[in-house]
Amino acid sequence: MFDVVTGGAGFIGSHLVDTLVAQGNEVLVIDSLCAGRRETIARHIDGCKVRFVQTDLLGDGWQEHIEGADRLFHLAADPDVRQSAINPDPTMQNNIMATYRVLEAMRLHKVPELVFTSTSTVYGDAKVIPTPEDYAPLLPISVYGASKLACEALISSYCYSFGMKAWIYRFANIVGDRSGHGVITDFIRKLKANPAELEILGDGKQVKSYLEVHECVAAMLFALRAREMVNIFNIGSEDWIDVRSIAEIVAEEMHLPEVKFRFTGGERGWVGDVPKMQLSIERIKSRRWKPELGSRESVRMATRDLLKS
């Protein structure tokens, strides 16, 4: 099996690469290293288990490298929800345009299968929680969520127009070792700078689902057994945790029992923040996969791993 992974030096991508290499697959990683780090996959590159092309998907010269691939995992994206409300252009370019260019390269080089990492934010402020894959209407409230939904539409159109197959995974909050953004890394960074006080965006009552990254990768590969033209799966845990509880876990793991919490106030932590999110994972559970960890356990494990790194 010849797999291509865009964004393969990033957080989820590097863990996926670890698993694909362990399975004995031929792996090509395409990453600009704008957000990813070469050292996350350096041992595979140095051991000739992975070919690495450092380039931007918005440029040219990478397309011929995917010739002969069996499957392309497209994880490269601009993941910053908050920044997309300040400067939308990088999100538009790195998500929508980059995905279009990937699809065109696949069409021209006859790569038959695409795996795309989408997001729970495509659902917006869902009225049904846990939210199933067939929930409608999809009304994202962030530019980031809108960009991912646009990518989903492009992928569907290419599958039906050009005979490709696709797996679209709508993620809950994925956490763990090598993560470079998100609430846990934000709290750790703030507490290292000021161990006496922690600023928490919003009122701390936002509740969301969290899943540890190794379980996420396992679910991604498990769901490849579905063989429709376009396969959409939610991937997350079966519960949720509030932001204040995450802060308490991080402070506990950093041995800071006296830290003071300071809330910025409001239901949303930032523009585009969804205050309540839990995905229904009944579709993937019906195929006999379910997570072993809940949100609280995933957050604690991720905190410990990040503090060790």
CATH class of the domain whose range is 2-174+212-235? alpha beta
Residue that is written with structure tokens 């006080």 in the block: 197
- Over residues 147-173, the pLDDT tens digits come to 999 999 999 999 999 999 999 999 999
Task: Please say whether the beta carbons of 129 and 78 come within 8 A.
Answer: no
Q: For residue 101, what pLDDT is reported?
A: 98
194: helix, coil or strand?
coil
What is the secondary structure of 73-89 as a DSSP string? EE------HHHHTT--H
Q: For residue 181, what pLDDT is reported?
A: 87
Which residue is catalytic, options 144, 158, 169, 210? Answer: 144
Asked whether the bond before 137 is cis by omega within 30 degrees of 0, the reply is: yes
The boundaries of every CATH 3.40.50.720 domain in the chain are 2-174+212-235
Q: For residue 83, what pLDDT is reported?
A: 84
Q: For residue 13, what pLDDT is reported?
A: 98
Q: For the domain 176-209+239-308, what is the CATH code?
A: 3.90.25.10
140-159 per-residue burial string, b: 16 or more CB within 10 A, e: under 16: bbbbbbbbbbbbbebbbebb
Q: For residue 84, what pLDDT is reported?
A: 86
Q: For residue 265, what pLDDT is reported?
A: 95
Give the ranges where 140-261 is alpha helix by DSSP (H). 143-162, 183-193, 213-222, 243-253
Mean pLDDT of the residues in the chain = 97
The boundaries of every CATH 3.90.25.10 domain in the chain are 176-209+239-308
Question: Among this protein's residues, is 144 annotated catalytic?
Answer: yes
- Over residues 182-206, the pLDDT tens digits come to 999 999 999 999 999 999 999 999 9
Report residues of the chain scoring pLDDT below 50.
Answer: none
* Helix-then-strand count for the chain, H and E: 11, 14
Strands, E assignment, the chain: 2-6, 26-31, 50-54, 71-74, 113-119, 165-171, 173-175, 197-200, 207-208, 210-212, 230-235, 241-242, 260-263, 276-277
Q: For residue 139, what pLDDT is reported?
A: 98
Q: What are phi and psi of 304, to 5 degrees?
A: -60, -45
